[in-house]
Amino acid sequence: MPVVPYVEPDRRVLVSTGTTCGEAIFAEGLPHYGADAVVVARDPEGRLRDLSWAPDTDVEVEPVRLSSPEGLQVLRHSTAHVLAQAVQDVFPEAKLGIGPPIENGFYYDFDVATPFQPDDLEKVEARMQEIIKSGQLFRRRVFPDVEAAKSELSDEPYKLELIDVKSEVDDNEVMEVGGADLTIYDNIDAKSGEVCWSDLCRGPHIPTVKLIRAFKLTRHAAAYWRGNEKNPQLQRIYGTAWPDRDQLKQYLRQLEEAAKRDHRRIGEDLDLFDFSKEIGKGLPLWLPNGAIIRDELEQWARETERRLKYQRVVTPHITREDLYYLSGHLPYYTDDLYAPIDIEGDQYYLRPMNCPHHHMVYKARPHSYRDLPFKIAEYGTVYRFERSGQLHGMMRTRGFTQNDAHIYCTFDQAKDQFLEVMRMHDDYYRTLGIKDFYMVLALRDPNNRTKYHDDEQMWTDAERITREAMEESNIPYIEEIGGAAHYGPKVDFMIRAVTGKEFAASTNQVDLYTPQRFGLRYTASDGTDQPVVVIHRAPLGSHERFTAYLVEHFAGAFPIWLAPQQARLIPVMPEVAGYAHEVSDILFDAGIRVDVDENDGRLPGRVRAAVTRKIPLIIVVGRREAESRSVTVRYRSGNEESMPIDDFVAKARNLIDSKSLEGAGHATEN
């Protein structure tokens, strides 16, 4: 996504009783228009307020500019409201769902008689431009009571439902209203002061639609009301909004590039994977070409783990519920599990993660300090019930196979073992040409300790070990408050894709809590019984998600070692087909994935077909090559060279064995 300029917080501004935030802020000379315009204010409690807010007592507020992350959220939320107004102007029968800001944009859901078509979005966007040009103002109103809100919104059944459950939707979450104000925002005609349109909303909003200077509606899709498949299916319109046109153009260019690299489209073109309605949503089929990529990644991981003295294990896909009560996943993780299966009176679940099974592997035999660190690894398949609206090709599936492992070690070994895990990530990513990555250290929210276990010393130790390992790794990292697991801090590796989108590749943890729960212990050198430390790690994430990322990273033009088909032989004329097959057999025996194209057609067309399939090595043989027992090789770069067969085999094997990135991601398309 386009880089949003960081804006240093402005000095706090004193807002006197009876004065609005906007009046006080603009009296200080701060801008009210343009990309750096102040659009809302943060009150002393940290809540964002409209600039029309007039506090009951003197307070200091922090101006929030349009170009800040929070300012962008407000801009996009406000643009979603303009979208909803435009839709109801163009389609008066449309009923309103919700319209939150999301990453890089916004959406709004509508109940309409027929699904939207592409030209409908053009009409709606044109109407939005008219609304923005008119300069309407946003005005917040507080309903005196629930009945007043129901009366005013009687024609909006979905809004009435939100009121009935005393909930107000904002930022894509349902906020319990409780004692909070139930509010509506009016769009006011700047000249007459008349109300043009209204919507139930918590806010805040930009003061005027004129601040919406660069937006675009991007697509439409079906979506279930409130994400529940049992609810009505609505029509969702997505859009994006930015402080200026340059940032919008940059983002749209990135969207265009992302569409070209979409793993779903490339995966279909290259026959990598498929989804079957008969099998079920989110349960992928790996086709032969995709299985090659999966196998190559798994073999690489096995070789790496063997070198680091991991031992392989295999654990069941289905487990009695007792294990998940022991791990703490039941009853708190139930919504993410597939429904239980009754077998001989016991309840069994498809496993959602491998950790509890690995802990039972450790418990299967007693251990002493001489056994530690004890490292076990498994490409374990797990199943999680993702909602239909969350599924996204291979990026988000209901069944996936993780590059999972657990390290059981002493307290004194924990930092070095965790550091080894971080360096493993670094090696994997750099081998794949992934250079733009960093770590996120997720810590506890100090204001919500009820989410976490209460052993303070355990938290202190886990955070210290984690932070020291991160510092020594020299991999950049940031901290995130509130993202920790209930049993300890965690480290997420984030990769920035070539399209600008960030991708969470893996989660890793130093866990001092689970060993206590499972009774995971070892005999120390002094004969005492001590708890182990568990390190959770999965550097390559899941086969499904990581392969999807690599498809987009390389735009389907995989490095030769990962390419499903590494070479294609093209005989120039039928007379040399026999020689082409002889060369093919030599390459096959050398472990190179190759086929022979004997189709009719001109040579340029057959070469172009191989390029379209993103095959790294295109080998052309004619009479000259047959007579000299040589080959002419065309690389992705477009360069060609001729050489004896043995020299070519040696060169190809070197490219494969060294995991060379030569030509990767740069397939020639002409």
404-423 mean pLDDT = 97
Among this protein's residues, is 355 annotated catalytic? yes
What kind and span of H or E run contains 244?
Answer: none
| Predicted local distance difference test score (pLDDT) of residue 600 | 86
Same structural domain, 38 and 108: no
Residue 7 has pLDDT above 50, yes or no: no
What b-and-e string marks burial along 401-429, b requiring 16 or more CB atoms within 10 Å of the CB? bbbbbbbbbbeebbbebbbbbbbbbbebb
The domain boundary residue, chosen from 500, 520, 547:
547
Which among 49, 202, 406, 425 is annotated as catalytic?
406
In whole angstroms, what is the distance from residue 622 CA to residue 573 CA?
A: 7
| Predicted local distance difference test score (pLDDT) of residue 228 | 80
In whole angstroms, what is the distance from residue 508 CA to residue 511 CA?
A: 9
Cβ distance 319 to 351 under 8 Å? yes
| Predicted local distance difference test score (pLDDT) of residue 442 | 94
What kind and span of H or E run contains 134?
Answer: helix 118-134
Residue ranges of the annotated binding site for Zn(2+) are 355, 406, 536
When the pLDDT of each residue in the chain is averaged and rounded to a whole number, the result is: 92
What does the H/E/C string look like for 18-63?
CCCHHHHHHHCCCCCCCCCCEEEEECCCCCEEECCCCCCCCEEEEE
The domain boundary residue, chosen from 49, 65, 81:
65
| Predicted local distance difference test score (pLDDT) of residue 179 | 39
Cβ distance 580 to 569 under 8 Å? yes
Same structural domain, 574 and 540: no
554-560 mean pLDDT = 96
- Beta strands, E only, 201-248: 214-224, 233-242
The pLDDT tens digits of the residues spanning 202-215 come to 999 999 999 999 99
Residue 167 has pLDDT above 60, yes or no: no
Sign of dihedral through CA atoms 654, 659, 660, 664?
Answer: positive
| Predicted local distance difference test score (pLDDT) of residue 478 | 94
The residue segments making up the domain with residue 382 are: 273-547
Residue 648 has pLDDT above 70, yes or no: yes
Among this protein's residues, is 402 annotated catalytic? yes
| Predicted local distance difference test score (pLDDT) of residue 405 | 97
In whole angstroms, what is the distance from residue 641 CA to residue 618 CA?
A: 11
In a domain, 268, yes or no: no
Which among 81, 263, 490, 636 is annotated as catalytic?
490
Q: Can you tell me whether residue 474 is helix, strand or coil?
A: coil
Among this protein's residues, is 404 annotated catalytic? yes
In a domain, 354, yes or no: yes
| Predicted local distance difference test score (pLDDT) of residue 11 | 77
Pull the structure tokens for residue 28: 């200080």
- Work out the percent of the chain whose per-residue pLDDT is above 90: 83
Confidence grade of residue 4 (pLDDT, cut at 50, 70, 90)? very low
| Predicted local distance difference test score (pLDDT) of residue 166 | 53
Pull the structure tokens for residue 192: 């007459």
Same structural domain, 135 and 230: yes
In a domain, 180, yes or no: yes
Confidence grade of residue 10 (pLDDT, cut at 50, 70, 90)? low
Same structural domain, 47 and 74: no
Which among 85, 88, 402, 509 is annotated as catalytic?
402
| Predicted local distance difference test score (pLDDT) of residue 594 | 97
In a domain, 406, yes or no: yes
The pLDDT tens digits of the residues spanning 335-371 come to 899 999 999 999 999 999 999 999 999 999 999 999 9
Among this protein's residues, is 196 annotated catalytic? no
Same structural domain, 541 and 434: yes
Domain CATH code at residue 238 = 3.30.980.10
Number of domains comprising the chain: 4
The pLDDT tens digits of the residues spanning 434-475 come to 999 999 999 998 878 777 888 899 999 999 999 999 999 999
In a domain, 261, yes or no: no
Among this protein's residues, is 384 annotated catalytic? yes
Using N-to-C axis directions, what is the helix angle for 69-90 and 118-134, rounded to 10°? 110
Which among 226, 351, 375, 536 is annotated as catalytic?
536
Same structural domain, 155 and 188: yes
Residue 421 has pLDDT above 70, yes or no: yes
Pull the structure tokens for residue 294: 């999966």
204 upstream amide cis, omega within 30 of 0: yes
Residue ranges of the annotated binding site are 355, 406, 536
Same structural domain, 21 and 137: no
Same structural domain, 415 and 543: yes
331 upstream amide cis, omega within 30 of 0: yes
Which of 561, 563, 422 has the alpha carbon at shortest distance from 505? Answer: 422
In whole angstroms, what is the distance from residue 530 CA to residue 72 CA?
A: 51
Confidence grade of residue 670 (pLDDT, cut at 50, 70, 90)? very low
CB atoms within 10 A of CB 455: 15
Residue 5 has pLDDT above 80, yes or no: no
In a domain, 266, yes or no: no
Same structural domain, 542 and 493: yes
Cβ distance 273 to 284 under 8 Å? yes
Same structural domain, 210 and 316: no
Among this protein's residues, is 490 annotated catalytic? yes
Same structural domain, 310 and 349: yes
Confidence grade of residue 171 (pLDDT, cut at 50, 70, 90)? very low
Which among 236, 294, 384, 398 is annotated as catalytic?
384
Confidence grade of residue 9 (pLDDT, cut at 50, 70, 90)? low
Distances (CA, A) of 279 to 68, 264, 394: 45, 18, 15
Residue 653 has pLDDT above 70, yes or no: yes
Which among 404, 492, 511, 597 is annotated as catalytic?
404
Distance spanning both ends of the chain, measured CA to CA: 29
Among this protein's residues, is 451 annotated catalytic? no
The pLDDT tens digits of the residues spanning 259-300 come to 999 999 999 999 999 999 999 999 999 999 999 999 999 999
Domain CATH code at residue 618 = 3.40.50.800
DSSP label at residue 560: T
Question: In this structure, what are the phi and psi dihedrals at residue 534, rounded to the nearest 5 degrees?
Answer: -105, 130
In a domain, 117, yes or no: yes
Cβ distance 241 to 77 under 8 Å? no
Domain CATH code at residue 330 = 3.30.930.10
Residue 71 has pLDDT above 90, yes or no: yes
In whole angstroms, what is the distance from residue 246 CA to residue 269 CA?
A: 33
The pLDDT tens digits of the residues spanning 563-602 come to 999 999 999 999 999 999 999 999 999 999 999 999 888 9
Residue 47 has pLDDT above 50, yes or no: yes
The domain boundary residue, chosen from 497, 519, 547:
547
In a domain, 175, yes or no: yes
Same structural domain, 100 and 217: yes
